[in-house]
Amino acid sequence: MEEMLFYDRMQFAFTVTFHYLFPQLTMGLSLLIVYFKWKFLKTHNEEYNDAAKFWMRIFALNFAMGVVTGIPMEFQFGTNWAKFSELTGGIIGQTLAMEGMFSFFLESSFLGLFLFGEKLLGHKLHFLTGFLVFLGSWMSGFLIIATHSWMQNPVGYEILANGKFVLNNFGALFTNPWLWPSYLHNQAASIVTSSFVVTGIGAFYILSKKNLAFGKMFVKTGVIFGLISSMIVAMPTGDLLAKNVVKHQPVTFAAMEGIFHTEEGGSEIVLIGQPDVQNKKLDNKIAVPNILSFLTYGNWDQEVKGLNEFPEENYPTNISGLYYGYHIMVGLGTIFIGMMFLALVQLFRKKLFETKWLLWAFMFAMPFPYIANTTGWYTAELGRQPWLVYNLMRTNAGASPTVSSGNTLFTFLGFIGLYLLLGMLFLILAGKIIRKGPHPQTH
Amino acid sequence: MEYFWYIILVAMLAVYVVLDGYDFGAGIIHLFFAKTEKDKKAITNAIGPFWDANEVWLIAAGGVLFFAFPTLYASSFSGFYLPLMMVLWLLIFRAIGLELRGQIHHPMWEAIWDKAFGIASLLLALFFGAALGNVVRGVNLGMVENGVATQEAHYFFLPLWNESFSPQAEHLGIIDWFTLMLGVIAVVALTIHGANWIIFKTNSELNTKLKDVVFKLNFVLFALVIASLLIWHIIEPQPFHNFIQYPFLWVLPAITFTGLFGLFKVKSFKKDGYGFLFSTLFLLGGLSSTVASIFPKLLPSTNEINPSLTVENVAAHEYGLSMGMAWFFVALVLVLIYMVVQYRVFKGKMDDVGYGEH
């Protein structure tokens, strides 16, 4: 049983981690493509249209990867988490079925038109199809986060005598206090990823003196979108989300912040430190006093509950993973704001395109928003453990009763092999599109 | 209420079979009949703008199954664990074959993805047919052995095959001679369906040859359908009891045979769309007749201890289902609008459509 649960969890974690690399770019990138196309309609400058078309190629490749790695996610609810599906399907099936009906059809119908229809449709309708693809991808994100939010903070349900969860308030699924901060946080973070990718590739073009005009356009656009979105990620959305965790999952918050014991007279904020779970302390700690109390409650002296206040069986199952996930996310997020701010200052001084070291930094920063988004997702998911539905259903109660660990190990290895292949193909093809650049002839 | 969702679910699966069916068929045609680059181009052009949206019907039907019949979803997805994972991998291979083939122009690269697309299409058709066979044949719900159930009444697990390869063995597998036969029927039917779509959508040089293929394969299909009807009673002693009880259901097999007979005249059709129309009728009639023959069961039990899964005992709760109806209709209207837009923009024969940029 334990072994089976382990493989079920590993397989889900692995497939969802790989999957999420793609939609986090496409959701943000669809917005930037719509922006480029809109700029073209306004200015009639062909370069904006070429920019939109160039990013469309990257988008299409990412989208295809996102779709093929997304289908296993829906399947796994039934194949590996059958008990969970059986008991909660009447509720989370609702939002997942809505995702299929409302967003996937929208995206898939109009992506074809967007990719192949420019000549057939004319520029205005082509812009519209791009906008609909953007709308579909954001709606898809919304319905997934709605499902996720219900697992984090179940609402609108009742539990029958046979253990089944049934919906008794449809509207509650969308007014869930967990939903909106998570959604906006997630969407802003996906704009950060795409901004860094756009800026990074622009920087690559400037530094390699290829496609210079496009390089400058990408860096400028990326920096503006990147600064705004990375600030929104921290304030207000990140802040609201943290306050939600304090309110609904205080034990999770204690583990995230690495607070093993409640401190009287206000909690310090830990900047750096390694949790020693066995001895219940933080090693190598660098912390600033009282800041956490202020950030959490708006009061310098209010105490924040430590892990010692909760029964041990409700501790998150992976305290150090949760702590690191959270701190890596916050740390990287802070660096992103700093980089983008610096770049904007240089842009105003008209020196950004000559500031070589900063362009190099942007080029190498491209993987880091992916890491920040992934660790952010881990923070949410590890934070929910040991629960599948917070406070109501434990993770070990949700796995499929009839699938043996050998079968799951077999498919897990299959996914590893398949996704390694997919990852390699993706890098080769994305590299090819980027090398080719937005324009047949370079400027 | 649950009967309403039952009809929705069956209808969505039927639409999926008709739509993704033609692009599976195109894949099989691609594997066996496309000799030149021009043939290949004609085939992929015929499905290019559509196949992605076609596949969404499977995802959406899966979503509806999850939400309206969660117990069936949980039971069947965990029970058919291995074949479903293989279906997933095949769907992935097929999709990347189609998406990536045109990205690099190198004979080896193109050959690899052509094969991936073709073989995955063939195997998927075989698996989906076998899946239907499994649903008709039933499974050992509750994992009953020697009269004792080892699991909850609706849980089971099937390996890919068993030693005896028989649908009546004590330990069933996914593939036995009965389910394999339905798999082969699916392959033949979808090959015909795909050929008809290509004839309908292109002016390819292949078209005359494909009409010949449809004509010949239709004899095979006809023989297989008759044979399956003859042996059906081994699986289900009273295969026609629903049809005897509700005589209006005979219209479904009538549709099937109309499609089947119509296809024999494929060479004399005035318009290229007629062949596609008849193979669509065959698929719709065949699927709905099969489903109707086991109604109200969704997944029959092969043991006497645990009851079959039926529309009633697997449905979600009333309130959720009725709320779902409201949004479902809004979504359905939107989906139909998208389809009209999509099929209008890419209407007519496909050779002239410029879709170079990718």
Banded model confidence at residue B271, pLDDT cuts 50, 70, 90? confident
Higher pLDDT, B74 or B266: B74
Q: Which of B73, B77, B106, B335 has the most A C-beta neighbours within 10 Å, making it the best mutation to test the interface with A?
A: B77
Q: How many Å is the Cα radius of gyration of chain A?
A: 23
Environment class of residue A244 by beta-carbon count within 10 Å: exposed (0-12), middle (13-18) or buried (19+)? Answer: buried
Q: What integer is the mean pLDDT of B145-155? A: 87
Mean pLDDT over all residues of chain A? 92
Residues of A in contact with B331 (CB under 8 A): 98, 101-102, 105
What distance in Å separates the CA atoms of residue B161 and residue B176, rounded to the nearest whole number?
7
Is the CB of A194 inside 8 Å of chain B's CB atoms? no
pLDDT at B355 over 80: no
Determine, for residues A79 and B85 on separate chains, whether the beta-carbon distance falls below 8 Å.
yes
Mean pLDDT, rounded, for B68-83:
93
Of A72, A91, A94, the CB nearest to B88: A72
Every domain of chain B and the residues it spans:
2-345
B66 vs A101: CB contact, 8 Å cut-off?
no
CA distance B254 to chain A (A): 32
Mean pLDDT of A106-112: 88
Q: How far is A267 from chain B (nearest CA, A)?
A: 44
B85 interface with A at CB cutoff 8 Å: yes
With contact defined as beta carbons under 8 Å apart, do A110 and B49 qualify?
A: no
Exposure string of B21-49, with b = 16+ CB inside 10 Å and e = fewer, is bbbbbbbbbbbebbeeeebbbbbbbbbbb
Model confidence pLDDT, tens digit, residues B336-351:
999 998 888 888 777 6
Q: Closest Cα partner for A277 from A228, A312, A235, A328?
A: A312
**What is the DSSP secondary-structure string of B91-140?**
HHHHHHHHHHGGGS--HHHHHHHHHHHHHHHHHHHHHHHHHHHHHHH-B-
Note the pLDDT tens digit of each residue in A46-59: 999 999 999 999 99
Residue type, B249: L
Residues of B in contact with A414 (CB under 8 A): 85, 89
Tell how strand B148-149 and strand B144-145 pair up.
antiparallel
- Interval B27-65: pLDDT, tens: 999 999 888 888 888 888 888 888 888 889 999 999 999
pLDDT at B351: 63
Helix (H, G, I), strand (E, B) or coil at A401: coil
Q: Does the beta carbon of A432 lie under 8 angstroms from any beta carbon of chain B?
A: yes
Interface list for A 117-146 with B (CB within 8 A): 117-121
Instruction: Decide: residue A397, CB within 10 A, 0-12 exposed, 13-18 middle, 19+ buried.
Output: middle
Burial of A400 (C-beta count, 10 Å sphere; 0-12/13-18/19+)? buried
Position with higher pLDDT, B27 vs A112:
B27
Q: How confident is the model at residue A21 (pLDDT cuts 50, 70, 90)?
A: very high
Q: How far apart are CA A189 and CA A329, in angstroms?
A: 11
Task: Note the pLDDT tens digit of each residue in A181-231.
Answer: 999 999 999 999 999 999 999 999 999 998 999 999 999 999 999 999 999
Would you call B145 an interface residue with chain A, using a CB distance cutoff of 8 Å? no
8 Å CB contact of A78 and B76: yes
Q: Which residue of B has its CA nearest to A65?
A: B96
Nearest chain A CA: its distance from B240 CA (Å): 32
Give burial (CB, 10 Å; 0-12/13-18/19+) of B247. exposed
Provide the pLDDT for residue B167.
Answer: 83
Q: What is the pLDDT of residue B356?
A: 42
Question: Do the chains contact at B70 and A89, CB–CB below 8 Å?
Answer: yes
Q: Give me the mean pLDDT over the B119-142 stretch.
A: 92
The single-letter DSSP state of residue B246 is S
**Pick from A354, A347, A107: which is nearest to A227 by CA?**
A347
Please answer yes or no on whether A109 and B152 come within 8 Å at the CB atom.
no
Tell me if residue B301 falls in helix, strand or coil: strand
DSSP letter, residue B175: B
CB contact under 8 A, B341 and A53: no
Cβ–Cβ gap B342/A422 under 8 Å: no
pLDDT (average), residues A67-90: 93
Q: What is the largest CA-CA distance in chain B?
A: 65
Q: What stretch of H or E contains A274?
A: strand A269-276
Look at residues A102, A195, A191, A93 and name the one whose alpha carbon lies nearest to residue A142.
Answer: A102
B357: pLDDT strictly greater than 50: no
Taking CA–CA distances from A165, the nearest residue in chain B reads B317
pLDDT (tens digit per residue) in A155-182: 999 999 988 999 999 999 999 999 999 9
Q: What are the start-end ranges of the E strands in A303-427?
A: 387-389, 393-394
Name the residue with higher pLDDT: B218 or B239: B218
Side-chain half-sphere of A32: how many Cα atoms within 13 Å? Answer: 36
pLDDT at A442 over 80: no
Span A223-281, pLDDT tens digits: 999 999 999 999 899 999 998 999 999 999 999 988 888 887 778 888 888 888 888 88
B47 CA to chain A: closest CA distance, Å?
Answer: 11
DSSP 8-state secondary structure symbol assigned to residue B304: S
Mean pLDDT for chain B overall: 89
Is B156 in the A-facing interface, judged by CB distances under 8 Å?
yes
- Residue-wise pLDDT tens digits, A277-324: 888 888 888 888 888 888 888 888 888 888 888 998 889 989 999 999
Which ipTM value was assigned to this complex?
0.90
